[in-house]
Amino acid sequence: METFGATQGSGPTGPASVRTVLSEADISRVLTRIAHEIIEANKGTRDLVLLGIPSRGFPLAQRLAERIARAEPGTDPAAITGQLDITMYRDDLRHSTTRTPAPTRLPAGGIDGKVVVLVDDVLYSGRTIRAALDALSDLGRPRIVRLAVLVDRGHRELPIRADHVGKNLPTAASEKVRVRVGEIDSENGVPVNDVVIVGQP
Amino acid sequence: MRHLLSTADLAREDAIRILDIAEDMVAVGTREVKKLPALRGRTVVNLFFEDSTRTRISFEAAAKRLSADVINFSAKGSSVSKGESLKDTAQTLKAIGADGVVIRHGSSGAPARLAAAGWIDAPVVNAGDGTHEHPTQALLDAFTLRNHWSAVRGVASTGSDLAGMRVAIVGDILHSRVARSNLWLLRTLGAEVTMVAPPTLLPVGSGSWPCTISYDLDATLAGGIDAVMMLRIQGERQHASFFPSAREYSRRWGFDDARLAALDTQPGRETVILHPGPMNRGLEISSAAADSPRSTVLDQVSNGVAVRMAVLYLLLSADPQRPGAL
C-alpha cells in the first residue's frame, strides 16, 4: 500500500514516511456504512439534516446524503444537506494569520427541531467541533446533534466524541493526516482520487 | 496591508475577497442571533472629527455584530474643542487599549498620518477624510453594484467583478471623496466610469483620471448606463458659487422625474440609481427617483454594515504580530 508517493505526489516527504490508510474504494465503502448507520440511528430520514464543515466536510456530507437517498427512496439529498462554516467561532483566530470564512448554507427547512449530523473529514483535538456546536446554537435549536467523521485520529483536547466513525486511526501527534477528495483537491488541474494518507510532515 | 486607507492601493483580489466575505456577513444579518464571536474582547474606537449619521452607526453595528466593544468619540463635546491634537488623542486611545481605530476627519490624509506616525499600533480604517477617500463607501457601492450586475448577467455574485458595467457618477465631484474612492475601485473591478458634472464641480486634474468626463447628463444616460450614482451637493464645503441656482443645477444635473421616466423607455437595461446619502431631495435627486424601485439607497445602507464587518474582521481578527492578509 506504500505506493502513494510515486503516483499521487506526496509533497516534500518521501514515499517511505507516507502510507495510505484509506483508498478510494475504502472511502466509498466507509461512507456507505456511515450512511446506513445514520439511517439506523435516526430510524429513517425524518427531520434529518447533514451539515458539512468546510472545506472537505461538505462534499462528504453530500456523498452521505446521496447514499442515504439511495437507501431510503423519497429523500431529496439536496434538501437535507448544508454547509456550516466555523471560521468565526474558532478559538485560535487571534493566534494565526487572517482566515477567510466560507459561506454557511442551511437547508430550506432550517435546523430548529431537526436531527443535525455534523460531517467532517478528520476528528483530532475536537476544537473544530466545539466551534461548530457554538455556531449551530446561533443558527437555531436542533433536537439532536450527532457527529460523523471519516477518520478519528485521537489526541482529543476537549470532551467530544464522534457518533459515526469511518476509521479509528492511531497516530502520533507529530504525524499529519491528509484527506483528499475529488470535489475539492486537484493536481495540475486534474481532480485527484479520494485518499486518506498519514505520514511525518 | 494592515490598514484600509484608500481604494487606490486596493488590489483586485483583496477587493473581491472583502466583497465575498461581506456576502456571508449579509446572511448573518438575517439570522435570529445577529452576532459572531470573531472579535470578542477587542475594542474598536470610532473616532469622528466630522458629523456623520450612517457611517458611524454602520461601523458601530458592524463592530457589535462581530462582538467587539465599541467606543464612540466625536470631536464635538470632546477635548478636541479644547485644542487637543490628533497625536494626543491617538495616544490616549492607545493607553485605553484600542485594538482598531475607525477615523473620519475633515483633513485629507489624517487617517494615513494616524496609521504611519507610530502614535498608536492599531489598524486604521479610513471612514472619510476631507476630499480624499471614503473606501468603505466605495466597497459597499461596489457590493450593491455587483449584486445587481451578477443578477442581470445571471451569474453567481461570489468571486465575480464588474467587468463591462457602465457606471455614471453625477454631481459634486470636486468635493466628493466618495467619487474618488469609487472611481479607483470600480476601475479595479473592471467597470467603465463616466463622471458627469458642471465644469465648475470637476477638480483640476480630473482630465487625467481613468474615466470619461461629461457635462451633459441626458446625453450620458441616452448612451446606455447600467447604474447612476448621484452625489450630494456638499453645501458645507462649497465656499464659492459653483452654479447659478439650485433650480438650474437640478434641471441639468439632478435626477428628476423626467429622467426617471426616460429610463423606462430603454428596454433591456435595468439601470439602478445609487446615492451615498444623505440626500438633498429635490436638488440632486427627486423624491420619485429616490423612492423608485430602481433606487438602491436603503440596500446600500444595509450592505454597508456587511461590508464593514468584512473589513473589520479582516483587519482585526488575526494575531496583531502577524498582520492580516488584507
pLDDT tens digits along B192-209: 999 999 999 999 999 999
Q: Interface pTM (ipTM) of the complex?
A: 0.83
User: Residue A100: its chain B contacts at CB < 8 A?
Assistant: 17, 20-21
- CA distance, residue B14 to nearest chain A CA (Å): 11
Taking an 8 Å cut-off on Cβ atoms, the answer to whether B318 and A88 are in contact is no
User: For B104-153, how does the pLDDT look when each residue is reduced to its tens digit (9 = 90+)?
Assistant: 999 999 999 999 999 999 999 999 999 999 999 999 999 999 999 999 99
Contacts 24+ apart (CB under 8 A), A12-15: A13/A199, A13/A200, A13/A201
For strands B227-230 and B166-170, give the pairing: parallel
C-alpha cell at A121: 473529514
Within a domain: residue A48?
Answer: yes
In a domain, A42, yes or no: yes
Q: Which residues in chain A are closer than 8 Å to B158, comparing Cβ atoms? A: 103
User: Are B317 and A138 within 8 A, CB to CB?
Assistant: no
Chain A CB within 8 Å of residue B156 CB:
no
Residue A136 lies in a domain: yes
Interface test with B, best of A86, A88, A91 (most B CBs within 10 A): A88
CA distance B314 to B135: 15
- List CB contacts (< 8 A) between B314 and chain A: 98
CB atoms within 10 A of CB B14: 16
Pick from A94, A104, A134: CB nearest B317? A94
Is residue A151 one of the residues assigned to a domain? yes
Number of compact structural domains in chain A: 1
Residues carrying CATH 3.40.50.1370, chain B: 12-133+302-325, 135-299
* Cα diameter, chain B: 60
- C-alpha cell recorded at residue A58: 461538505
Q: What is the CATH number of domain B12-133+302-325?
A: 3.40.50.1370
- Pull the grid cell for residue A14: 518521501
Q: Which domain holds residue A148?
A: 25-171
B234 grid coordinates: 456638499
Amino acid at A7: T
- Class of residue B267 by CB neighbours under 10 A (exposed 0-12, middle 13-18, buried 19+): exposed
B residues 52-71 lying closer than 8 A (beta carbon) to A: 66
- Which among B24, B27, B319 has CB closest to A96? B319
Select from 3.40.50.1370, 3.40.50.1010, 3.90.1170.50, 3.40.1710.10 the CATH code of B135-299: 3.40.50.1370
Whether A104 maps to a domain, the answer reads: yes
- Domain CATH code at residue A62: 3.40.50.2020
Is the peptide bond preceding residue A107 cis, with omega within 30 degrees of 0?
Answer: no
Whether residue A6 has pLDDT greater than 50: no
Domain annotation covers residue A147:
yes
Q: Is residue A123 part of a domain?
A: yes
Model-wide pTM > 0.80: yes
The per-residue pLDDT for range B154-176, each reduced to its tens digit, is: 999 999 999 999 999 999 999 99
Check residue B324 and give its pLDDT: 54
User: Is the pLDDT score of B64 beyond 50?
Assistant: yes
